Structure 1
Amino acid sequence: MFTQFFGSYLLNNHLVTSEQLAQALELQKKVHVKLGVLAINAGYMTAEQVDKLHKMQMHTDKRMGDLAVEMGYMTPDQVNELLTSQKTGYLLLGQALVESGCMTNGQFAIALDSYKRSAKITEAEFADEKAASVRSVISDFYGFSLAGTKGDLYADYVSLLLKNIIRFIGDDFTLLPSSTVQLHACKQAAIQVIKGSEQIFTAIEASNDAFTAFASRYAQERFTENDEYVKASVGEFLNLHNGLFAVNTSNSLAVELDLEPQDYESDKILNGFKNLFIVPIGFPFGTVNFLLSGELPE
């Protein structure tokens, strides 16, 4: 999830274009994080030192790690630590942006440091969906403070949603700014209401093509038209996610929630909401909107 928030930070601060970000998200599947990017992220080397070593490698047949030790930039233990460390997603994204010429090592270093300071959260914290810091970042990004007392519930819902998207759909998506509306014109939508001590309207909505592609990824089958199998697959993802959310909420807050059967709508205006949050997520195949409201339509 850190990768997606970092990507959105780059996009919203006009450090990359949406096209460059989409290309980098695809390229990151093929790139390997180089020692220089790892060293910058760990704070062991500056971007200027990394660039200097790259130039030195053009004139000597030595590995960057050996050169870094010779120059006194890192110790052998630090080099070994980086080479055996886990290559996390946001570093793959950074490497992809550097290799494609969208950013220099220096620009990546500045952007990464700036994001870490502004978000005040680490990737390890992002891995803990119950962390208050994660809830805060999500709430700020999507404006859930507008929801009053339900804001924390929304943040928990979306935190789990993003993890489930990464797990079941893929990690090549971009987080887009949310909006709050009273009505929404949907093309294709799978809908489910969560009831109990809390009532939450939830839906997955998209164009015909994006809806079908989302279903294809979840079902791991190639659907070519929006039929009953497509609707069932999107509805199954929504039901799975909502079920996990209900269990988590019950365990952490002692709040009992039940799921109503899924419903489906086509070419319909959803209205009667006081506040309906539209949480759009951009995939290579199109934008999928996740709808969320703690007040059922009148």
Structure 2
Amino acid sequence: MTRTDPLLGPADIRELAAALDVRPTKQRGQNFVIDANTVRRIVRTAEVRETDTVVEVGPGLGSLTLALLEVAADVTAVEIDDTLAAALPATVAARLPEKAAHFRLVHSDALRVRELPGPAPTALVANLPYNVAVPVLLHMLEHFPSVERTLVMVQAEVADRLAAPPGSRVYGVPSVKAAWYAHVKRAGSIGRSVFWPAPNVDSGLVSLVRREEPLTTSASRREVFAVVDAAFAQRRKGLRAALAGWAGSAAAAEEALRAAGVSPQARGESLTVEEFARIAEHKPQAGKETPA
């Protein structure tokens, strides 16, 4: 029988998994997409172009990988699982032989990847393992500045946090750190029935378009993120108290806040990433760490 669609359907996924003796593990946050329409929708929503080099994290059995290869110039997939990493190139070669030369597999933990083979990636599109979604996303945005557009599928609650604006109940550390790199928005929802096994949580799509120009600040990313972490570590407290440890004392924190034009009574959840950057710029000398 001639195969008309190169993408993986439910029967293909189960057949592949059985042949590889693979069962998705909660430890690695694995839930495989079994619906071809869903992965094609993800590729469309990501606005993948025929000139794009796409990096994918956690390709699993290859559902999204094949949909990306249908459109993109090149795809590099980063997979930590030994069995899945070994099998994916053969799946690509069997189902999209004409694109096999445009596919690269990096067998590694994505959090350890700092360079990729082939052309620099222009887009990141991934069904991220839910247990490490935010660290992986921020790591990739930091280490691959050539990535202009990102679309990730994550747990719905994480999607809400990433895209939350200041003042939102779920605005927090992921929201601010993602905003450091990109303009972030929710880009849709994904039903549970398109996964195997079906997860116990809903899923959401998040779009991140990298800032054309980096945030204008004299503070480094590390310095700004230190303020963000301190502010949300005690998010129920006003910033004067929450930033006392960061600044060296509550008085020093108030000095930095007033210099930055931020109320000492404000809370972290009300601040933009630009305001966090201004606070970082005004860290009092007494609060700075002395070199070892």
Q: TM-score range by the shorter chain?
A: under 0.3
Question: Greater share of helix residues, 1 or 2?
Answer: 1
Normalising by the residue count of structure 2, what TM-score does the alignment of the two structures yield? 0.26
**Higher RCO (C-alpha 8 Å, min separation 6):** 1
